[in-house]
Copies of this chain bind each other. A is one copy, B any other.
C-alpha cells in the first residue's frame, strides 16, 4: 500500500470529485459541502491495486482522475474483466447495502485519483438526503440492465457478434467514427470471454469484411455500423 492518503482539502482551486459524480452533482452547493467532508482522496500509480477479492468492503470508490479496471478471477486463474471505470464512475457499491467482502479486484490502468466514502458516512448521507438514494437506485437499475444485457450476449451471441456489439457500444459512447479502445487485446478478451488471439482474428475478419478499419491496435474506424450489427 504505497498510496497516499489525505483528507480532501480541495475546496479552492481543485475540483472535488463530488461535483462530477452523477449521484451527487444534482445537489445544492451547501449540501455538497457536507458530503465533501466525508470524502478522502487517494492517489495511485499505474497498475496499483485498490482492493482485492477477500478484502473487507466498507468503502465506496469514485474515480476522479485516471482509469481503473475491476475484474474477477475464476479458480482456474482465468480473468473476467467486469468494467473499466472513468472519471465520475464508482465502484464498491454492493457491499454498501448487503455483503461486506469483495468478490472482485480493482486496480488502476493509469495513474489515478480515487475519492472514497466510508459506508457509515454514506449511510448518514442517505438518511439526510433521500434524493441521493433515489439517484443511486437509478444508477443501480441502469447497471443491472446493462449487466443483464451483457450476460444475454454471452448466452446468445458468438464471439464475433460480441466484439461487434462492443465496438458499436463504444462508438455510441464516444460519438465518433474513429473510436479509441480503452484497453489491450488481453483485457478486451477478458471482458468478452475469449482470448487475445481470437480478438485479433475476429477484428481482422471484420476489417476484411469492410466493416471496420484498424489504424493502430487501439484506434479503430467504424465504417459500417449497421453491417456490424447485422
Contact = CB atoms under 8 A, between A and B. Distances in A.
Interface in A141-158: 141-145, 147-152, 154-157
Interface residues of A, number: 44
Contact of A141 (B96, B103, B133): B96
Given A126-B134, A133-B134, A98 B154 contact: no
Interface string A177-197: 000000000000011110000
A109 B138 CA distance: 30
Contacts of A95: 141
A109 to B, nearest CB: 19
A56 interface: no
A137 interface: yes
Contacts of A156: 72, 74, 76, 78-80, 193
A137 B78 contact: no
A94 B193 contact: no
